[in-house]
Amino acid sequence: MTVLEFGKQPSPGLPRMIRDMHLAYGTTELKQCGDCVHFQRIRVGNTRCAKCELARQSRSRATDWRAHWRACGKFETGRADTRDVAT
Ligand code: SF4
């Protein structure tokens, strides 16, 4: 895990949600969210999305997570099953 320097802007160019995770927990080098056990793949009818189970979630696309984002310090290797959610 890499701890960020105080006052240093974490991960410029990424959305605030993942930057907040980097700020709170640091980053994990050479790992991506899609390979983390906390990365939840969700199927709602014919639509698919992903969320981080350790971050704030809602049904809004605004809290969707991306597999290619750099992993935070809470990264744990693994893959959660895809979860079906009723519409
Ligand atoms: S590495 Fe895992 S815990 Fe951290 S933001 Fe990505 S999915 Fe969430």
Mutation choice for ligand 1 from 22, 25, 69, 75, CB with most ligand atoms inside 8 A: 75
Q: What is the model's pLDDT at position 5?
A: 63
39 lines ligand 1 (CB under 6 A): yes
Q: Is pLDDT at 1 greater than 70 in this prediction?
A: no
**Which is the closest atom of ligand 1 to the Cα of 55?**
8
Q: Where are the domains of the chain?
A: 16-85
Cβ–ligand 1 distance for 42 under 6 Å, the answer: no
Residues 6+ apart with CB under 8 A from 25: 1, 72, 73, 74
Q: How far is the CA of 37 from the centre of ligand 1 (A)?
A: 8
Contact 39, 80 (CB under 8 A): yes
pLDDT of 2 strictly over 90? no
pLDDT score recorded for residue 10: 61
pLDDT tens digits, 34-85: 999 999 999 988 999 999 999 999 889 999 999 999 999 999 998 877 888 8
The two most distant CA atoms of the chain are separated, in Å, by 43
Find, among 35, 36, 56, 51, the residue nearest to 83 by Cα: 51
Residue 26 has pLDDT above 90, yes or no: yes
